[in-house]
Structure formats: C-alpha cells, structure tokens
Amino acid sequence: MSSAPDRPLAGVRIVEISSFVAVPLAGMTLAGLGADVVRIDPVGGAADYHRWPLTADGVSIYWAGLNKGKRSMTVDLREDAGQRLVQQLIAAAGVFITNAAGRPWLSHPELAAQRPDLIHLEVTGRADGTTAVDYTVNAATGFPLVTGPAGADGPVNHVLPAWDVSCGLYAVIAVLAALRRRDTTGQGSAIRLPLDDVALATAANLGFLTEALVTGVRRPRLGNAIYGQYGQDFTSSDGVEFMVVALTPRHFRDLTEVTGTTAAVDAAAEAIGADFTDEGQRYRHRDLLTGLFAPWFAGHTAEQISAALARSSVLWSRYESFTDVAESPRVQGNPLFTLIDQPGVGSYPAPGLPMTVDGTHLASAPAPDLGQDNAAVPAEWLDR
Amino acid sequence: MSSAPDRPLAGVRIVEISSFVAVPLAGMTLAGLGADVVRIDPVGGAADYHRWPLTADGVSIYWAGLNKGKRSMTVDLREDAGQRLVQQLIAAAGVFITNAAGRPWLSHPELAAQRPDLIHLEVTGRADGTTAVDYTVNAATGFPLVTGPAGADGPVNHVLPAWDVSCGLYAVIAVLAALRRRDTTGQGSAIRLPLDDVALATAANLGFLTEALVTGVRRPRLGNAIYGQYGQDFTSSDGVEFMVVALTPRHFRDLTEVTGTTAAVDAAAEAIGADFTDEGQRYRHRDLLTGLFAPWFAGHTAEQISAALARSSVLWSRYESFTDVAESPRVQGNPLFTLIDQPGVGSYPAPGLPMTVDGTHLASAPAPDLGQDNAAVPAEWLDR
C-alpha cells in the first residue's frame, strides 16, 4: 500500500534492500507507521524469499510475516540499467535502509552525490566489518552459557532471534531520529548499525557485562530461576507447568499465603537468620523456598492453581505452546490482530504495531506479491 | 544531563516514572538521542533501586545501567503536594512515560486536562489489564517449550529479558512517532503498550504463531539447530564450542570445503536423493550433515578451526562467557563503549546507542544520584 494519510509517517518514502529479519522488520514497522516502503529484490527474490516456515505449497510464511504493508519491486541488480533505476528511486525516496553491504553502487558517497540529504541506514554484522547473524552474535554474548538447567553442560541457544528483533527496532529509532534531524536542519544521515553492537550494548545496559567487569562475579546457570529475585517454575498435580514470580514483599507474602506456607516460611527465616523482605535473600534461599512451595503446586490441579493465583498479587503464567497461544483469546480475541488475506497463505489473524494510540491499533496490510509494483512505483516517484 | 544541543531530540523534555526494564530503557534511549529525561521516584527509590546485580557495597549495577544520562528527582508521591508537583512537571515537559498504572492522579484525562497536547505512554502487562512481567509473558509465548536440547522435558526460560528490551524500544518508536504527529498537527497522543502484545506481535511477525495457525505444524525442540536452515554447534579437540551457520549454498559449499567433506556430502546427497542447494533439505538432513562435519571439529584445535573458518564465507563464532566478552576487544577496543565514572560503581566502559551517525557514536553519561535534581528541574521547568 502507499502511505495512509492519517499515520505519523504519511508522506515518507523509503527504499528497502534487505534479507532475513532486522531490516525487513524495520521496514515493516516504518510501513505500519504510515511510510511508503518499497522493498526492492533481485528477480526471483532475495535469499530469504523461501525461508521457513513454509505452507504446504512452499510459500514462505516467514516472508509474508515480515513484509506486511510494503510494496515490492524486482530489478536486475547485476545490470547497469537496474542499478541506475535503484539509485534514482533511492534519490527520489530520500530514505534507504539495507543490510546489503559491499556494493560500490550502493555506497554512501555514490548515493549521497545524487541526494545530499539522504538518510541511509546500513545494518552490518560486527563493528569490525566481519559478517555475523543473530545465531553467531548470540553465541558470543555470554547468554547461551547461562541458559538452561543448573548443572547442564554446553551452550543453549535462544530460539527467538532477539538480536535481530532489537536491531530492527533500533533501526526504526535511528530512521525516526534522522527524519527529525533532517526536518530541523536539512541534513541527511549516514547510519551504521552493527548487529553485534546491538547485542553488546544490550548486555551491558542490563548489567550482564558490567557485573563481570566491575565485580568479577561469574553468574551461574540458574535453570528457570531469575537472578537476584524469586522466580521459579512449578508443576501441577495434572502435569501443567507454571512460571511464578515474586518481585516485591507483597508478591512474596501473597505467594506464601496462597500456598499455605506463611508459618513455615517465617519459621525457616528465623531458623537460618534470613529476612525474606529482601529480594536478594529470597534469591539466595530460592531452593529452600521452592522446596516449601512445590508440594502445594504438586497437590493441586492447574485449574485450582490458576484460580488461587488469580486472586493474589503474585505474577504467574502457565507455560503454553505456540499452538496454545495462536488459538487463545490473546490472539483470537485481541484487537492487536486483524484478519488479513495473504495470497498463497490464506486468511489469518496478523498483528499490527503493538501499541494503541488514542485507543486505536494501526492494523497491518498483507505482504505484496514479488514485483507487483514494478510499474507503479517508478511512475509515481520518477514521473515516468 | 540536560539536552545536548547537537542531538536530534535536543529541546524535548520527558518525565519518566518507572521501574524495572522496559520504560527505564526507553527513557535512557530517548536521553541518548538528546532529550532531557527526568526520572521521578518515591523518596528512597522505586522497587528497582536495589535490583541485582549489585556491587560489593550493595549499589545496583542494574539501576546504574538503565538510567544513564537521565536526571533524577525524588518526590513524596503519597502527598497531595508531591502529586501536584509531578502533574505540573508533566504538563511542563509535555511527554510522560511510565509503567506505573492505576493511579487516578496520573490518569490520562487528569493529565491531559493540564496539557492537552500531552504525549502519554503507558506500558502495561497484558492487553486485558492483568499484570505481567517478562518472565511470565515469556512462559506464555511458546518459546520456552522449544528451547533447549532435543528430547529435553520441561520449559527452558530465556535469560535475556527479550520482551522487556523489545517493549522499551517500541516505546521509543511510539514516542518519536507521537512527537512527529504533534509537530505536524498539534495533537497529543495517549499511547498504551502492553508487554504481552509486544511478545505476541513479535512471535506472529516471525512466523511462530502463524505457522501454528496456518499449517498446524507443531515445531519441535531442536537443541542448538536453526529451524529451516543449517546451523549447529560443534566442539573442538581442546573443548571449545563453536556455533556454525550456513544460510546460502555458498556458505554451505565453503563449510564442506573447510571440513574436507565435499566428496562425502555429495555422495550422501546422491545416496539419499537430497539436493543440498536447498535450505530445507540441509535442515531436514541436519543430523547426517552434522555427523559428517563433527569429526573435523573434534580433530582440530579452536585456533585451527577459527583460522580455517575465518578464511571462508561460513558464519561462525566461538561461544563466550560474559567475562570473555567484557574483556574482549569487542568491548575494550570498541568506540561504542566509553569510560564513565559512575558514583558507587566506579569507572567502567559503558555503551552509547548502538548506531553511528555520520561515523560518530552518541556516548552515554553516568546515571544520576537519586534526587540530585530536586531543586534544578523545578527551577528550570516551572520557573521557580
């Protein structure tokens, strides 16, 4: 679709040359905010055009999911004529986002010569110029060595590509800030955003790297416990798993009351000289506390546990599978999701942006067919 | 610090009343972009003021990490006079970000009566109004049931609070979009951003929920493999773990050449009728391929493996601990990090924003002392 006039980025035009997650997510988010985002791919599609998950017919659910609300052009990027067309479109748009590095005809000096106030964002692998993807960046963050059961051996990777997602959102932030700068000063921006630096900045902001540097503490593998807080998973009599968190003294007191362990917890505190109003002491003595709470969970059904926790201030959730979630009212009855009809995939509830503004969600539009706007975009943007 | 004049949000004033991760990260990011962000806490600090990790003296490394570059006020929020002061500061700032829900004197109608064009962002737990935190949201996403070794039982939580981080970045996006809208139309925005909806939108955008809905496929637990691609961890002869990824036919061909398995892989492909130029077939036959590659890793040292992979297009990384990362050139020699002197914590390299603009990082300033700006901010903003 082209710009929706009532959205904050109405009138902003963006060219995207991308693959995989970070830049496609950035472009989709900018499209959701109202920008006219044109994804340009080589003929036949980029390296992510057939990425899993696939439908039974081989259509990429992944690609449809990360390109909602964009327009699509295919161009022969190996030919001079194609390269010139893309340069003209970038100059006309004034904003270019990409993770396609190392092509001289897409270099910043080349593009800025044609559009001096260009906003040009490149997502790269590592700051030193080497390539990297979420899964290799994550290996070198420290997280896989503290994920998984206490005492386990070997790394445990995340399944959510959290660095790609964060990188895509930082890319949106960078473009929005650059638009503000250009509106104010007339200046363009050459922005580089290394995926690895997103991970490093995040790990440092959250204290993981700083703790290692400042205190020398080597944080252990904790299973499903939360570092420095009381949080633990429990299993019901009918085999349902729950995550339970008590961040404040009130949460914790409610947890002892729900589980009928208030007297036992107080007696244990006195016996070992602990003060469970302190979050650090709840963390240090977590195994003792879990030992006191677990029998109540093991002695009640999931339904009983859910009802009792719901009446308290305790933070809790059942563990759910993707299928459970997809079929739950959190998706099926949530105005965040609207039915879209995606050619090749079918009709399904797709999310808009996760925030409401004045009570309203910005809904998504389907992803384009590859190349569907080959004629329309040059006609509109280049007047041809 | 107050606004840096050369940053894109110079002149923007923001009040933050927050705790934990998402909103503090949002405020810190907006401060990094040049906004004057004043965090207002109850006397003695909010519920996150002593959060782990701590220094040996009990100072929160966590708090210092997520409040860099802000100013700080403490106000008795239980008293009428304190509440009125906060309302006046919010009206003067024109932007208010918070995760403190349920206080009538901070409700949108109350605040908008005093500042009609207010940008007011509230992060909440779930869209239905119930409370939730990263760890309970994550339990109900589906991810913990597919994380960890194939065949393992029970959920495996993430350690990175990925939903908090994503939520904080979406909050920044929402504020930047609302500033643009206000600049254009004069209108304020009442924004609600449920943490759970951030997780649901992300899981759907990436295809996890959509696959379950559209195909009914129940994705298995894969250990450290990557769904639909070839990616796997390997161990060297000296016990060092590597993550190795081949997204494209070129990556894959290079991996067979590095490991000296090209002929064996071709023979295996012919024997089973597979085409390893197809990413899905590399994924389906991953155990066979891993069996062919693993002996080369087991027969070489980490140094030999690193040297060989570095000469190829293969995507790879050693697994590293937080300590390894913190002491590596990726932190110690990276201009993303600058030394800051944080009272109570010491001097350490702290990250700025992960992007460079025209080759330059926006560096961070230290976190404030609690209440250090109690006099300065009202004097500047309220002319008193």
What's the complex ipTM?
0.98
CB A233 within 8 A of CB A243: yes
The CA-based angle B27-B33-B35, given to 5 degrees, is 60
User: Of chain B residues 208-227, which have a CB less than 8 A from chain A?
Assistant: 208-219, 222-224, 226-227
Q: Is A164 a catalytic residue?
A: yes
pLDDT at B3: 45
pLDDT at A384: 75
pLDDT at B383: 84
**Of residues A28, A166, A319, nearest to B165 (C-beta):** A166
Given the residues A41, A134, A164, A373, select the one marked as catalytic: A164
Tell me phi and psi for residue B30, to 5 degrees: -65, -35
pLDDT at B1: 41
Instruction: List the structure tokens of B372.
Output: 């250090």
Looking at the predicted structure, is the pLDDT value of residue B344 above 80? yes
Helix (H) or strand (E) holding A341: strand A337-342
**Interchain pair A138, B349: CB under 8 A:** no
Looking at the predicted structure, is the pLDDT value of residue B269 above 80? yes
B4 — pLDDT class (breaks 50, 70, 90)? low
pLDDT at B5: 59
B2 — pLDDT class (breaks 50, 70, 90)? very low
What is the model's pTM? 0.98
**Eight-state DSSP code of residue B51:** P
What is d(CA B228, CA B244) in angstroms, rounded to the nearest whole number? 15
Sole residue written with tokens 């401060």: B31
- Per-residue pLDDT of B71-90, as tens digits, reads 999 999 999 999 999 999 99
| C-alpha dist (Å) from residue B19 to A200, B24, B40, B101 | 22, 7, 10, 11
Sole residue written with tokens 């940053």: B7
What is d(CA A57, CA B194) in angstroms, rounded to the nearest whole number? 35
CA dihedral (B145, B149, B150, B152) positive or negative:
negative
Q: CA torsion, points B234, B311, B231, B282, in degrees to nearest 10?
A: -120
Residue A231 bridge partners (DSSP):
A245
Chain B hits for A346, CB-CB cut-off 8 Å, are 214
**Interchain pair A201, B280: CB under 8 A:** no
State the smallest CA–CA distance between residue A211 and chain B in angstroms.
6
State the smallest CA–CA distance between residue A338 and chain B in angstroms.
11
Give the Cβ contact number of residue B55 at 10 Å: 18
SS3 call for B373: coil
Long-range contacts, A8-13 (Cβ 8 Å, 24+): A8/A33, A8/A34, A8/B177, A8/B178, A8/B180, A8/B181, A8/B184, A9/A33, A9/A34, A9/A35, A9/A179, A9/B177, A9/B180, A10/A34, A12/A36, A12/A95, A12/A179, A13/A38, A13/A92, A13/A93, A13/A94, A13/A95, A13/A381
What is d(CA A235, CA A298) in angstroms, rounded to the nearest whole number? 6
Instruction: List the structure tokens of B177.
Output: 């979009």
**Of residues B50, B330, B345, nearest to A200 (C-beta):** B330
pLDDT at B312: 97
pLDDT at A1: 41
Examine residue B53 and say whether the peptide bond preceding it is cis (omega within 30 degrees of 0): yes
Chain B hits for A204, CB-CB cut-off 8 Å, are 65, 331, 337, 349-351
pLDDT at B256: 98
**Interchain pair A135, B243: CB under 8 A:** yes
**Interchain pair B227, A53: CB under 8 A:** yes
B138 — pLDDT class (breaks 50, 70, 90)? very high
Low-confidence residues of chain A: pLDDT under 50: 1-3
**Of residues A53, A190, A319, nearest to B144 (C-beta):** A319
What single-letter amino acid sits at B233? D
CB A14 within 8 A of CB A95: yes
